Structure 1
Amino acid sequence: CLDAGINEIYIVRGYLAEQFDQLLYKYPMIRFLENPVYNEANNISSAMVARYMLSNAYVFEADLLISNPQIIKKYHYTSDFLAIKKDRTDDWCFTVKDGVIVEEKVGGLDCWQMVGISYWNEEDGHKLSDDIKMTYEQPGGKERYWEQVPLVFCQKHYKVEVRECRENDIIEI
């Protein structure tokens, strides 16, 4: 992110939150957001905490190491998920039509494997803030994954594109 000129960085923390404090020595610009219900809800609870910071913003899963910093760009205009084109996967993946994600599922053929990095433009970030809250507050909402909000439950509100990356651009740790 820093290589791309992105200096406003938020980390949502829950389990072992204090261990993230050591990052401040090297990256004093980081701001922490606390997720007090991290052990009671799925990752949508972290999105609830950060929902006002989603406009013109990247969202990263916590367990990723970016080996190719070129995949992060400061100027970005469409909302998208990074993904790897696959003949077959047992992991979370997307079905894509004309560059737009039309389905999120686990396992698929001739699909795009999700890698856990997305970008949200200004308009979609504002909508996402409201839609995350609405989904979270519905029965069963706390058990949802945050990315299901724009890709499944409120899909009609979004046109989320897929952005291709390579297998070795991102390492899951």
Structure 2
Amino acid sequence: MAYKVENAVIMAAGLSSRFAPLSYEKPKALITVKGEVLIERQIRQLKEAGIHDIAIVTGYKKEKFEYLKEKCQVTLIENPEYATRNNNGSIYSAREWIRNTYVCSADNYFPENPFESEVEGSYYSVLYADGKTNEWCVTEDETGRITSVKVGGRDSWYMMGHTFWAEPFSKRFLEILEAEYNKPKTRNKLWEDIYIEHIEELSMKTRKYNQDEIYEFDSLDELREFDENYKTNSGSEILKKISDELQIKEEEIYHLVPAKDENGLVTGVKFEIQGKQFEYDYQLQKLIHGGKIDE
């Protein structure tokens, strides 16, 4: 049975702390990749597929997304709990929208448009890993239905990219989410965790893509490999300040990871320069020498 896609929900509420320090200055969804803002590209691709009813779930630096309402004719939905719970909060915030719906992450980059106006049923995009991977690996039956998911594996298809929720899936998932939302243990769960816990009653197939069809950048180092402009000029005021202070080129700053305090809160960014370790503190706006690199 084919389902006509009614709308799309793009989740853009998160902190994306691993994308330090760019994500400290602006939401990851609003970075420019190969000349186009990530979320604007995804909106354009959805509209080219005939999907014009698009909602963006915002939270972190929500005001930065306001321009999209006029420029791209989209609706903004606020997730007020973006900082205190995982992405199930974004699904809950957009629950009135979700029917026959593309549910997407704002930070994916698709070289070619993956969206369609009609879809056969619920699916999760997957890529294939040759060898060992730490991604969410899926097992499927002979029909392509996902039967189990585990973190980490080898020579396996793994979850990456957009999803489509057909109405039967949406209805049942939202019923489960409503029932479990206020339980303390739900707060830290991804929506995918909830799906996996109820996988027998939530039918979703795989949609297989090649490695060069879906990109996700977890760090500035990864983005630099895809868009070389970021090697010399990331647009980050923090990196510019560091390079000016140390009288080096921005491309000499590498291995960037978030710095965290004893409570796990992000306090800055750690990085290396010529094999030496440094840390920049966001609140102090100060460069600290000798910080231990935290993987």
Asked whether the two chains share a fold, i.e. TM above 0.5, the reply is yes
How far apart are 1:2 and its partner, in Å? 0.8
How far apart are 1:22 and its partner, in Å? 2.0
The aligned amino acid for 2:192 is E
Q: Do structure 1's residue 7 and structure 2's residue 52 form an aligned pair?
A: yes
Residue aligning to 1:136: 181
Residue aligning to 1:95: 139
Residue aligning to 1:169: 213
SS in 2 for 1:137: coil
> For the residues of structure 1 that align with 2:66 and 2:184, how far apart are their CA atoms?
35
1:120 alignment partner, one of 150, 157, 165: 165
Give a deviation string over 1:4-58, Cα, whole Å, max 9, x none.
1000101110000010112234202x10110111111011111111122221101
How far apart are 1:154 and its partner, in Å? 1.5
The aligned amino acid for 2:90 is S
Which structure has more RCO (C-alpha within 8 Å, separation ≥ 6)? 1
> For the residues of structure 1 that align with 2:55 and 2:156, how far apart are their CA atoms?
31
How far apart are 1:77 and its partner, in Å? 2.5
- Give yes or no for contact 1:84–1:165 (8 Å, CA) kept in 2: yes
- Give yes or no for contact 2:161–2:214 (8 Å, CA) kept in 1: no
Matches within 5 A, 1:136-155: 136-150=181-195, 152-155=196-199
- Give yes or no for contact 1:93–1:108 (8 Å, CA) kept in 2: yes
> For the residues of structure 1 that align with 2:189 and 2:122, how far apart are their CA atoms?
20
Unaligned stretches of 5+ in structure 1?
A: none
- Give yes or no for contact 1:136–1:144 (8 Å, CA) kept in 2: no
- Give yes or no for contact 2:125–2:160 (8 Å, CA) kept in 1: yes
SS in 1 for 2:116: coil
Q: Once superposed, what is the RMSD of the aligned Cα atoms?
A: 1.4
- Give yes or no for contact 1:42–1:145 (8 Å, CA) kept in 2: yes
> For the residues of structure 2 that align with 1:8 and 1:143, how far apart are their CA atoms?
29
SS in 1 for 2:172: helix
Residue aligning to 1:64: 108
- Give yes or no for contact 2:56–2:75 (8 Å, CA) kept in 1: yes
Unaligned stretches of 5+ in structure 2?
A: 1-45, 218-295
Identity of aligned residues (%): 30
2:93 alignment partner, one of 36, 45, 49: 49
> For the residues of structure 2 that align with 1:157 and 1:20, how far apart are their CA atoms?
36
> For the residues of structure 1 that align with 2:199 and 2:180, how far apart are their CA atoms?
12
The aligned amino acid for 1:84 is L
Report the TM-score when normalising by structure 1. 0.91
